[in-house]
């Protein structure tokens, strides 16, 4: 980070020990921290989409979109994932998925129904 002029540190660069909200690097730092925690639970990111993580043994898929996560899998396994994430990160659980990217999501007996 380059300090603002006039504070006596002109020409020097300051290293950041953690990402600051609003900086360009903040989202990348948050994603890297999340990815590290997911690897601890044996999640693997897909080679063609690094923002999609799967854990075959838990039967869970997790998708990262900006600073939100969408998780699909058995409820008990998702609870295990949420508890693990809460022990390492600040997590807010908002409940079931209703909309994503302008698409309405409804849960039916046969699975998920997508409607635009």
pLDDT of residue 31: 83
> Is residue 11 assigned to a domain?
no
- Which structural domain, as residue segments, surrounds residue 55? 26-115
Considering its fold, how many domains does the chain have in total? 1
- The 10s digit of each residue's pLDDT in 27-81 is 777 888 889 999 998 999 999 999 999 999 889 999 988 778 888 888 899 998 9
pLDDT at 27: 74
Mean pLDDT computed over every residue of the chain: 83
- The reply to whether 97 falls in a domain is yes
Q: Tell me the two tokens of residue 27.
A: 């989202």
Task: Look at residue 17 and tell me if it is in a domain.
Answer: no
The structure's pTM equals 0.71
User: Is residue 37 in some structural domain?
Assistant: yes
Q: In the chain, which ranges are continuous DSSP H helix?
A: 26-40, 75-88
On whether residue 21 sits in a domain, the answer given is no
Among residues 63, 66, 68, the alpha carbon closest in space to that of 43 is found at 63
């Amino acid at each position: 980070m380059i300090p603002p002029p006039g504070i006596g540190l002109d020409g020097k660069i300051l290293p950041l020990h953690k990402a600051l909200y609003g900086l360009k690097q903040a989202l990348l730092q948050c994603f890297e921290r999340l990815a590290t925690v997911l690897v601890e639970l044996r999640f693997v990111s897909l080679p063609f989409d690094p923002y999609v993580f799967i854990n075959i043994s838990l039967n869970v898929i997790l998708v990262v979109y900006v600073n939100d996560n969408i998780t699909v899998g058995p409820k008990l396994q998702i609870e295990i994932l949420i508890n693990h994430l809460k022990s390492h990160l600040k997590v807010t659980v908002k409940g079931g998925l209703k909309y994503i990217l302008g698409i309405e999501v409804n849960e039916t007996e046969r699975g998920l129904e997508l409607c635009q």
